[in-house]
Amino acid sequence: MLQLNPKDHTPIYEQIKEQLKTMIVSGVLKPDDKIPSVRELAQMLTINPNTIQKAYKELELEGFIYSVRGKGSFVTAQDKNLRNIRQQDLLTDLEKTVRELMYIQVPYQQVISLIEKIYKEEDGGNND
């Protein structure tokens, strides 16, 4: 379900947050879907429950999920702002990367075709 990479220096709980966010924002997880319990997920990923706890707590603070005592954690109905913030972050990232690619003289066309390829390849797929 989730992919953790210990060699990546981003903390485990951040990796979990990131991946859940993406699933929520992209619609893989829909509002009021139940997400795995802390203990369940900890067992699945063979990591410490505290780490999951921390991820869930922050996701709740940021408004992505909500917890119901005794029942579990659930996806929040999406506020448009959340998606916009995420999008803005990604575009800023993109700009920095592209600027460096330009610096090392990777041709414009090469960058464009990579992007075209990505969008095309998934086109028949889960692009609902």
Footprint on this chain of its own copies (rule: CB under 8 A):
6-7, 9, 11, 21-22, 24-27, 61, 66-69, 71, 76, 78, 81, 83, 85-88, 90-91, 93-106, 108, 111-112, 114-116, 118-119, 122, 127
CA distances from 4 to 7, 17, 93 (A): 9, 11, 21
Site string for DNA, 17-56 (x = CB under 7 A): --------------------xxxx------xxxxx-xx-x
How big is the CA angle at 93 (ends 91 and 97), to the nearest 5 degrees?
115
CA-to-CA distance for 25 and 79, rounded, in angstroms? Answer: 10
Nearer to its own copies, 42 or 111 (CB): 111
- Contact with DNA (CB under 7 A) among 1, 3, 5, 70: 70
Residue 33 tokens, joined: 């879907």
